[in-house]
């Protein structure tokens, strides 16, 4: 039994740390997922949508921190009960998604690993069994370090995790698991796999009043896209910096366009107000959110390959 408890402890801790880490490096992705859960078509709790980001951050940090705590054996009773409560919440959400076919991807492993709702549900069932074993024999969970070391490790870990969250929210995800990551060839990503499944890059269109310019822009060597997925939610203080970097890019021969899902009239007003030297093309909001976790943000393409991505606060670091 002691051996089973230790094996369960390692499996549960490692899984929670991995699951928390892949979301910790991209909390905006979890924010979008919780917004989907809170929407009218899923849980119908739209009053929680404005709090999706703090809710996501709280759960992510709790998830990875509990994984650390169970491995080092800090406050085992509190840790195991917390793990059980958290997993029961995930179990309900994944069952609801799977049974009612509401959310096709629960986001439990961020964009790193895609699981169907039923796969995630059964994974959580197994987790519940392991955690119940830990709960029944919690006395076998001993700290791996003596004295105050486990407490120090826990609080240092909490500080590191909060710093990572602040960093990626200010800049961009430390690790990008999406099909629009730096180094990815979007043209290759648009090709259908041999099994006929949906390609990783789909719904990527940049439309003006007459046509989709995406195929043309993906063949050009120097392309800068200014991503503004929603003008109402955009950080307006970023537009002066966007104007400056766009002018520099144009002077160096770049083709510069904005990409937004907002209404044309609103975009024209912003374009005029900040004297932006480029036109906006229409792009699906979800696609833009997938492309870059910034609003506004800058994407550099070279013949369809993503070479650079920056939040507006870091545009001075772009190499043109």
Q: Report if residue 78 sits inside a domain.
A: yes
Mean pLDDT of 14-39: 92
Residues 165 and 210 in one domain: no
- Cite the DSSP H helix spans in the chain: 2-24, 27-38, 52-72, 76-100, 117-136, 149-170, 186-189, 214-217, 239-251, 264-273, 285-291
Q: Give the number of other CB atoms < 10 A from CB of residue 197.
A: 8
Residues 264 and 219 in one domain: yes
Mean pLDDT of 61-89: 95
Residues 34 and 163 in one domain: yes
Burial of 265 (0-12, 13-18, 19+ CB in 10 A): exposed
- Look up residue 98 and give its two tokens: 């799977």
CA-based end-to-end distance of the chain: 61
Residues 207 and 108 in one domain: no
Residues 223 and 121 in one domain: no
pLDDT at 98: 82
Residues 146 and 246 in one domain: no
Residues 207 and 155 in one domain: no
Q: Report if residue 44 sits inside a domain.
A: yes
Q: Report if residue 59 sits inside a domain.
A: yes
Kindly tell me if the per-residue pLDDT of 109 is higher than 80: no
* DSSP codes of every residue in 249-267: HHHTT-EEEEEE-S-HHHH
Residue-wise pLDDT for 305-314, tens only, equals 999 999 999 9
Q: Report if residue 71 sits inside a domain.
A: yes
Give the CATH number for residue 258: 3.40.30.10
Q: Report if residue 175 sits inside a domain.
A: no
Q: At what angle do helices 117-136 and 2-24 cross, to 10 degrees?
A: 140
Which residues pair with residue 309 across a beta bridge? 299
Domain of residue 243: give its range: 184-317
Which residues pair with residue 301 across a beta bridge? 223, 306
Residue-wise pLDDT for 79-106, tens only, equals 999 999 999 988 888 888 888 777 766 6
State how many domains the chain has: 2
CB 62 within 8 A of CB 86: yes
Mean pLDDT of 210-217: 95
pLDDT at 107: 65
């Amino acid at each position: 039994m002691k051996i089973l408890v230790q094996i369960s402890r390692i499996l549960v801790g490692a899984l929670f740390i991995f699951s928390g880490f892949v979301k910790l490096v991209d909390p905006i992705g979890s924010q979008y997922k919780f917004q989907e859960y809170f929407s009218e078509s899923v849980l119908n709790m739209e009053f929680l949508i404005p709090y999706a980001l703090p809710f996501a951050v709280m759960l992510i940090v709790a998830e990875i921190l509990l994984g650390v705590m169970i491995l080092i054996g800090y406050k085992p009773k509190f840790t195991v009960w917390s793990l059980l409560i958290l997993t029961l919440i995930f179990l309900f959400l994944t069952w609801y998604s799977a049974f009612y076919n509401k959310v096709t991807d629960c986001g439990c492993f961020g964009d790193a690993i895609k699981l169907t709702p039923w796969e995630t549900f059964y994974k959580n069932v197994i987790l519940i069994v392991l955690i119940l074993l830990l709960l029944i024999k919690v006395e076998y969970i001993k700290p791996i370090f003596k004295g105050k070391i486990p407490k120090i490790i826990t609080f240092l870990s909490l500080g590191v995790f909060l710093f990572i969250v602040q960093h990626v929210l200010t800049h961009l995800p430390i690790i990008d698991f999406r099909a629009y990551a730096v180094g990815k060839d979007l043209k290759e990503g648009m090709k259908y796999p041999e099994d006929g499944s949906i390609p990783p890059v789909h719904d990527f269109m940049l439309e003006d009043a007459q046509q989709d310019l995406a195929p043309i822009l993906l063949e050009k060597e120097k392309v800068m896209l200014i991503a503004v997925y929603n003008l109402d939610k955009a950080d307006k203080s970023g537009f002066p910096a966007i104007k400056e970097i766009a002018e520099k890019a144009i002077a160096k021969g770049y083709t510069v366009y904005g990409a937004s899902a907002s209404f044309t009239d609103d975009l024209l007003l912003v374009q005029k107000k900040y004297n932006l030297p480029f036109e906006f093309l229409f792009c699906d909001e979800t696609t833009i959110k997938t492309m870059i976790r910034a609003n506004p943000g800058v994407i550099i393409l070279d013949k369809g390959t993503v070479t650079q991505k920056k939040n507006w606060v870091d545009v001075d670091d772009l190499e043109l």
